[in-house]
Amino acid sequence: MAGRPPTTTISKMNADSQFRWLPLAELRERTSIKWRAFEPDVLPLWVAEMDCAPAPAVVGALTDALHRGDTGYPAGTAYAEAFADFAEHCKELGYTGFKIHGWHDGDRRREAKNLLGVRARVGDDMALMIDPACELRTFMDALYVGRACDEAGYFWYEDPYRDAAVSAFGHKRLREKLKTPLLISEHVRGLEQKGSFVVMGGCDMIHADPEYDMGITGCMKIAHLAEALGLDVQLHASGPAHRHCIAAIRNTHFYEQALVGPDMPNAMPPVYACGYSDLLEAVGADGCFPVPDGPGLGVTYDWDFIEKNRTSHHVFE
Ligand SMILES: [Mg+2]
């Protein structure tokens, strides 16, 4: 029914068994509209309000705050400080660049505030990048965060908003309004499509990945495409093939340690038997990662580990 939340009518016996950890009679005592707006034989199916008891830790934190009279809106700076702490930690390890992956809810103000805070903490001698991974809602949100990138001197601004980073026209318009170079095309597949995207003005830097873009051959073609146009290419993520490609490309900048964070190591399993590592701490004192120099990709695999942990097996012929 229009304007009315979804409801269902069930027997009290079923309702009680559904909420055995928080009896229906207790839920009916709640003061929220969910439990006060309907007849006793109607059980609302709203899910925003939990129908189970909150975890003790949540109860404790809320109770403590109430006892202190601390009931205002939180200032919300802890996240920015945590990001800045991690950027500073990476700098101490030897990294010369730091890329922010923010939040999934597309809050432009939080993203902008955070990127400015990271710059303030690490100073001007560390390259900073931000990749909202298309989570910002609109072009105007992308513009808002991009202006903060301009203010803080970011090295690149990657896949900002929810066109899914495939609109050459949208990003051309964005480039006209920002100083920070745009790195786009992580989600554009194929040499021809990437070529069209950049020629149409959709980006300043092209993205390539030897695992996504038709192998090492495809990745190198994209790198040469960028070079032919007088532009730079950036490789997405990490791995032995990525290191070889980067070592063979003139017009590129950083080796990306993908999706690492405090207490969150690289998600790749330890499949190597030669000491190869993409863990955060594996960076050299010079801020670089070595290129494996053995035959092929230069690494040897720990087949005992692989066989023991294998969950499926595919053969490509
Ligand atoms: Mg990305």
pLDDT, tens digit, for every residue of 226-261? 999 999 999 999 999 999 999 999 999 999 998 899
Range of the domain at 43: 7-68
**Do 142 and 136 meet the contact criterion of CB atoms below 8 Å apart?**
yes
Q: Is the dihedral of CA 15, 20, 23, 28 positive or negative?
A: negative
How far, in Å, from the CA of 216 to the mean position of ligand 1?
Answer: 19
How far, in Å, from the CA of 184 to the mean position of ligand 1?
Answer: 8
pLDDT at 9 over 50: no
How far, in Å, from the CA of 272 to the mean position of ligand 1?
Answer: 25
Task: Tell me the average pLDDT of the chain.
Answer: 88
**Do 9 and 42 meet the contact criterion of CB atoms below 8 Å apart?**
yes
How far, in Å, from the CA of 178 to the mean position of ligand 1?
Answer: 19
Please write the tens of the pLDDT for every residue from 191-214: 999 999 999 999 999 999 999 999
Q: Do the domain assignments include residue 116?
A: no
Task: Provide the pLDDT for residue 316.
Answer: 87
**Do 158 and 183 meet the contact criterion of CB atoms below 8 Å apart?**
yes
DSSP structural state of residue 294:
S
Q: Do the domain assignments include residue 45?
A: yes
Task: Provide the pLDDT for residue 142.
Answer: 98
Q: Do the domain assignments include residue 60?
A: yes
Helices 215-228, 240-247: crossing angle, 10 deg rounding? 30
Tokens of 157: 């601004």
DSSP structural state of residue 232:
E
Q: Do the domain assignments include residue 169?
A: no
Pinpoint the alpha helices (H) of 178-211: 191-199
Task: Provide the pLDDT for residue 259.
Answer: 87
Task: Provide the pLDDT for residue 39.
Answer: 77
How far, in Å, from the CA of 158 to the mean position of ligand 1?
Answer: 6
Q: Do the domain assignments include residue 56?
A: yes
How far, in Å, from the CA of 194 to the mean position of ligand 1?
Answer: 15
Task: Provide the pLDDT for residue 227.
Answer: 98
How far, in Å, from the CA of 3 to the mean position of ligand 1?
Answer: 40
Res. 69 pLDDT band, cuts 50 70 90: confident
Task: Provide the pLDDT for residue 48.
Answer: 52
Q: For residues 51-67, give the mean pLDDT.
A: 77
Task: Provide the pLDDT for residue 51.
Answer: 65
Residue 145 Cα distances to 83, 142, 166, 214, angstroms: 17, 5, 19, 33
pLDDT at 157 over 60: yes
Please write the tens of the pLDDT for every residue from 133-144: 999 999 999 999
**Do 254 and 234 meet the contact criterion of CB atoms below 8 Å apart?**
yes
Please write the tens of the pLDDT for every residue from 252-306: 999 999 889 988 888 888 899 999 999 999 999 899 999 999 999 999 999 999 9
Report the alpha-carbon distance of residue 317 to residue 314 in Å, rounded.
Answer: 10
How far, in Å, from the CA of 51 to the mean position of ligand 1?
Answer: 38
Residue with tokens 């073609």: 221
- One-letter amino acid at 235 equals L
Total of domains in the chain? 1
Q: Do the domain assignments include residue 12?
A: yes
Tokens of 125: 């001698």
Closest CA to 175 of 149, 151, 197, 204: 204
Query: What is the spatial order of strands in the sheet that 156-158 belongs to?
Result: 97-100, 127-130, 156-158, 182-184, 205-208, 232-235
Q: Do the domain assignments include residue 11?
A: yes
Task: Provide the pLDDT for residue 14.
Answer: 42
How far, in Å, from the CA of 177 to the mean position of ligand 1?
Answer: 21
pLDDT at 315 over 90: yes
Task: Provide the pLDDT for residue 5.
Answer: 40
Residue with tokens 């230069």: 298
How far, in Å, from the CA of 236 to the mean position of ligand 1?
Answer: 7
pLDDT at 7 over 70: no
Task: Provide the pLDDT for residue 225.
Answer: 98
Q: Kindly state the helix (H) or strand (E) to which residue 235 belongs, with its residue range.
A: strand 232-235
How far, in Å, from the CA of 16 to the mean position of ligand 1?
Answer: 47
How far, in Å, from the CA of 2 to the mean position of ligand 1?
Answer: 41
Q: Kindly state the helix (H) or strand (E) to which residue 42 belongs, with its residue range.
A: strand 42-44
- Which residue has better confidence, 53 or 290? 290
Please write the tens of the pLDDT for every residue from 70-92: 776 655 568 889 999 999 999 99
Angle formed at CA 127 by CA 122 and CA 129, multiple of 5 degrees: 100
Q: Do the domain assignments include residue 177?
A: no
Q: For residues 149-171, give the mean pLDDT.
A: 97
Question: Looking at the DSSP assignment, which residues form a beta bridge with residue 8?
Answer: 43
- Which residue has better confidence, 276 or 55? 276
Tokens of 28: 């009916």
For the whole model, what pTM was predicted? 0.77
